[in-house]
Every structure is written in structure tokens, then in C-alpha cells.
Structure 1
């Protein structure tokens, strides 16, 4: 019953039911405690989640790895990484072992607050302990390295994994292409992109979009539009994100007339500006209100 209430978001009611159970001498199991913690963490009520966790220990009920993972994730989400690290270290002190979810969560938390050194240390410990790593761990590492400009570390890891043929799925390569583009390594990104066909991988909409965005970031719109057409020729339909990254590129480079022309195609496909594109446009119009007169499509949309 408590689990069902938690799923409905009625966590206070669920805790009240649990207290009644305890009063009647029925001790809830660890699954019930975890469900309560999880719901409180989802709400960002970490104090209450921690109280539930501590009550387990007070009742001499050993928290399981799921209990730790729930609370560590909650702390990381709120960027309270010191508290998350204390719990992470406590797992080993209790004679247990972090699982792959624990490692991935703590790595994400560390990268989120810029503690790249600690993230690298944990990764080294994982390797030393012989932990079986999965693609999610490596994607987290690659994203973290690229986020902080650690391109050499990212490419060393990528090359190692590629040589070992550990991962050959398109999502993995998309992360690398995106990271290289955002670090100004367009030529390297495009080399990886072009290599996909030789290793038998078909780019998906995300892969094409990150490559298009890479060209747009450098102001290379002819190349971006070439990839867009190639994408369609290969049977991969562009989505709203694809079109928005191109429009954002036009706005960044103040190519308003090109954007107006492109908007017709975008509108014809039923796509619209997302929040990021709208923000870009507002900034441009704020600096130069006459831009609106160059985009009649916006006036017609406004009248509707």
C-alpha cells in the first residue's frame, strides 16, 4: 500500500501508513523505506529522505545498495557532492561494494560541480578493483572530459575503447562528435563522423544534428546544409532540434536574411522555435529592433 501511495506522489500519506504499521508491530521491509526515500529525493526534500535512511540504521536494518544509490543520487542532483561522497565511502566501510549505478551517479555528480580530479581518481579505483564497466560509465566520463575541455583525456579513452571494440553503437560515437565540436575540434569531429560508414554504423538524427551544430558553431552554413540534405538522402528525417540548431547558428552570425529564408522551410515542416532559439532571437532584436522587419514570417505568426 505504501509503495502505491509513493507512486501516486502521496509520500506523506505513505509515511503515515508506515508509522501505523510500526505501531501495530509490523516492521516495513527495506523496499518500503526505499520507496519513501526515492519519492522524497524526487521532490528535493533531502532532509526527509535522510531521516528515513537514518531511521533504518536506528532500527538495526542494514541499508542495501539501492538505499545508498537513492540518497547519493538525491544529493548529487542538488549538487551536495560532499554529502554524496560521504555516503559513497560509507558503503565500503560497511563491508559492501558500490555497484555500477553508484559509480555512475557519483561520477556525474563530481563532473557537475567541476571536481574532475576526484572523478578521475574514482575511475582509477574502479579499474584497479576490476569493476566491470559499461557504456554508461564511459559516456559519463567522455561527457565530463569534454565539458571541461579535457579533450586529450577524452580522445585517449575513446581510442582505447575503439581499439578494444568495446562499444560500436552510434550513441557512443555521437558523444565523441558532439564533444569535439563543442571544443572547437571540428576537423577531428568530421573525421570521426565520416568514419562511421566505414565501420558499418548509420548516423541517427542526434549524430547528424551534432555534426550540423558543429559546422554552425564555426559559421560554415553551406557545410551544415549539405549535411542536412545528406541526412534526408540517407532516409534520416531531421527533427525540430536539427532545424533549431541551424537557426541559432544564423542568429549567432547575424545572418538574418538567410534565417528568414530557412524559416519558410522550417515552418513548412511544422517545426517551431524552441526556448533557446527564442532567447537568441530576443537578444538580437533587443540590439537591433529592425531585425523584425526583415522576418515577415514572425509578423504573420504574431497576428495569428
Structure 2
């Protein structure tokens, strides 16, 4: 459909049915780039360059440069920017921000510095977005102190950080386990009269949950409803994961009930977290009850969701039920993946049903789903445990033959 639309647009231009202006081109280009059709957008730019009346402007070039950077085609983006300069179309802050963002994502910090300096030398001054791109890129590489220096420089130059700048650095602190620093920055942001958004809260709550600091996470969670932003599905998922991680089943159930009554729609990940938690603590009946409810509702599910259920059943000694569910997958249009097969093989091996495990491995390979290190390790350990050494040796040879490590 997209191909047809582009061809129709090109036909309109070539046959001079009407002459699109730069705005019309930009609208079509934007739509194509958002859907991932960067090459088709580039072909439209080339068509535009051939026109008599409408020539590409800075906006048209910037749309494509941004898309190329997002695709990781940085060299092509830089070439296009140089081409633009040769045509006396100077890049603006939007163009430079796209290039700098692309460089940060690829970790090309030296090039990034060069382009930043070039931009400033051309009297194009970095804005809040430029600085946020830099802080985010540095934090994702664990360079939080460098990101703080960038923010200090930014404030010195009279550019006020926004909530996204603070969020990127808080996330960096959380990723490096510096939760006290993250909290200090959160409070500093509020003191500067910048309202935290739900992402700010999610970052801190996630940081606390990962460190099993549930009282702090719950305190922040309670703050949200009092101070404005509504908890998102992601907020609830993080809290549920944290609570179930420390075995607080009752609290997790209360939060899930609160989520439903608040009209926040759970996603697949939410239900996966709950099922995992129920199975982990042996609440098999509750897990099966939730699973049955979701199936009856016709909730959208994927193979990852079924992996959670099959794994939980296997670990709780319900191998027959797990196998029955596994056999149902193809009739539901779901293809078992490496994890699905490995879970079933693990279940069989733990019960000493090695021939069933062997058959499952053969079925897996027959369906063009190839075992990984973990699959073979389960097989090797299972056969070793039952002293079936000659077969164990065959699996080890097979494993090395596939270039996997023992």
C-alpha cells in the first residue's frame, strides 16, 4: 500500500497533474519515515531536486537526515548534510541535533565533540534538546559524572534543563546503583519548580525495586496519586515485579486490584509478572485460575506468555498439564521457540523421562528451531544424572559440532 501511494505521488509530480509544495513533500516524507521507509523518502527527495519550481528546503533535508540517524546510517546522513551545505542550504539546530543523537547512540564521542564545536562556531547555539541528547547518551554508557558536567555547563550557559534532561541523568544514576544521587536529583528538580512526570517516578521506583528497597518504592508510588501524574501500566508492572520479587504476594494482589479499579489496563507483561510470581511461590491454583480467565477473555497472548505458564507448571510438578498446553500451541497459531522447547526438555529431564526429552529435542530440530547452550546443558546433565553416559557423550559432540561451548 505504501509503495502504491509513493508511486501515485511520483506520477502526480512527473505528469504535472499538480505541483506539490515543500509542505506537501514534508508531510509525505514525515509519514514515510515514521513507518520506516527511509529509502523511499530519499527517492522522493531526489525527485524533488529534479523539479523546476519546488526545491527541497532545510525541513525536507532534516526529516531524512533524522530518519537516517535513527536507522544507524550515520555516514549517509552526514553525506546528505554536506550535500545540503554545497547547495547553500545551511543546517540548523534540528539537523545538528539529529546528527549528534545518532553519534551518541553509536558511542562516537570524538565525532560528536567535533560536530558540537562546528555547530557553535556557526553561531548555532545548543538548545535544551541538544544537551538532553548528550546527557542521555552519556548516561546510557554509565558516564553519569560526565552527564552532570554537561548539565552544569548547560545551566551556566543559561539553558534550563527540562524534565527529560533530569530523567536521563536520574536513569543513569539508577543504572549505576547510585540511588541516593538519583533521589537528590529528583528533589533538586522539584526545588527548581520542574514538575516530575510519570517517567521520573517510574525511573526511581524501578531503581528502588531492583535494589529491593520496597519501602522507598512504595512511598514514591503513594506520592504519585497525591501529587498529580497517574500511575502508568509501566509503574504498576514495576511495583508488582518488586513486590513479588520479595515474596509480598498479598501486597501484589492489592496493587493489581487497585490497577484494575483505576482503569489502568494491564498488558501481557503485567500478567506474565503475576503468573511468574504465583508459580514461584507455589500458588499453582491461583496461577491457573488467572491463566484460564485470560484465555476466556481472548486476551492477546504471545509465545513468551505461554512459556511462563509452561515453565511454571513444569517447576510445580504439573508436567502432564504443561505438555498438554505445549501440544495446543500450534492449533492457536503459536510457534514454540527455543525457550519453550528447553522448558519442556528440562521438565522431562527432572522427572527422569529422558526418552521424552530426547524426542522433544528431535522435534525441536525437525521444526527448524535449534537448541542453544542451555538446551544441551540440560540434556547433558539429565543423562549424566541417570548414568546414560554414551548418550550424554553424543549430545556433547553434537553441542561442540554446532559451535556451542560445553
TM-score (norm 2): 0.64
Instruction: Identify the residue that residue 19 of structure 2 maps to in structure 1.
Output: none
Asked whether the 8 Å contact 2:268–2:301 carries over to 1, the reply is no
Distance in 2 of aligned mates of 1:96 and 1:104: 16
1:259 positional shift: 2.1
- Please say if residues 142 and 175 of structure 2, whose CA atoms lie closer than 8 Å, have aligned partners that are also in contact: no
Alignment correspondent of 1:115: 248
* In 1, Cα distance between equivalents of 2:342 and 2:136: 41
Q: Which residue of 1 aligns with 2:3?
A: none
Tell me whether 1:164 sits opposite 2:292 in the alignment: no
Q: Tell me whether 77-86 or 250-259 shows the greater mean CA deviation.
A: 250-259
Matching residue within 220, 230, 236 for 2:353: 220
Q: Is 1:182 matched with 2:315?
A: yes
The offset of 1:235, in angstroms, is 2.4
CA distance in 2, matches of 1:123, 1:82: 18
Name the structure 2 match of 1:14.
147
Q: CA deviation at 1:55?
A: 0.5
Q: Cα 1:75–1:253, aligned 2, differ >3 Å: closer, same or farther?
A: farther
Query: The residue matched to 1:194 in structure 2 has which SS?
Result: helix
Aligned-partner SS, 2:160? coil
Aligned with 2:280 (options 136, 147, 155): 147
Where does 1:28-67 land on structure 2 (aligned, <5 Å)?
A: 28-67=161-200
**Aligned residue number for residue 63 of structure 2:** none
How far off its partner does 1:120 sit?
0.8
CA RMSD, 1 decimal: 1.7
Measure the CA separation in 2 of the matches of 1:18 and 1:112: 35
- Say yes or no: does 1:131 pair with 2:273: no
Give, in whole Å, the separation in 2 of the partners of 1:82 and 1:259.
48
Equivalent of residue 374 in structure 2, options 218, 241, 248: 241
Secondary structure at the aligned position of 1:214 is classed as helix
Q: Which residue of 2 aligns with 1:276?
A: none
Which residue of 2 is the match for residue 196 of structure 1? 329
Q: CA deviation at 1:257?
A: 4.5
Matches within 5 A, 1:282-301: none
- Aligned residue in 1 for 2:225: 92
Which of 251, 263, 280 in structure 1 is aligned with 2:396? 263
More deviation in 67-76 or 235-244? 235-244
Asked if the contact 2:349/2:379 (under 8 Å) is kept, the reply is yes
User: Does the CA-based 8 Å contact 2:319-2:347 persist in structure 1?
Assistant: yes
Higher relative contact order (CA 8 A, sep 6+): 1
C-alpha separation in 2, matches of 1:5 and 1:189: 45
**Residue 21 of structure 2 aligns with which residue?**
none
Distance (whole Å) between structure 1 residues aligned to residue 397 and residue 147 of structure 2: 53
- Tell whether 2:210 aligns with 1:77: yes
The verdict on how the C-alpha distance between 1:252 and 1:56 changes in structure 2, with shifts beyond 3 A counting, is farther
Partner in structure 2 of residue 231 of structure 1: 364
- Which one of 383, 388, 403 corresponds to residue 250 of structure 1? 383
Q: 1:6 to 1:264 in 2, by over 3 A?
A: closer
Of 298, 306, 317, 1:173 maps to 306
Write out per-residue CA displacement over residues 38-79 of structure 1, whole angstroms, 9 at most, x where no aligned residue: 111100011111110110122221111111111111111111
Paired with 2:143 and 2:302, the residues of 1 have a C-alpha distance of 40
CA distance in 2, matches of 1:217, 1:81: 34
Q: C-alpha separation between the residues in 2 aligned to 1:117 and 1:62?
A: 32
Asked if 1:3 corresponds to 2:103, the answer is no
Q: CA 1:46–1:192 in structure 2 vs 1: closer, same or farther (change >3 Å)?
A: same
- Partner of 1:142: helix, strand, or coil? helix
Aligned counterparts of 2:157 and 2:367: Cα–Cα separation in 1: 65
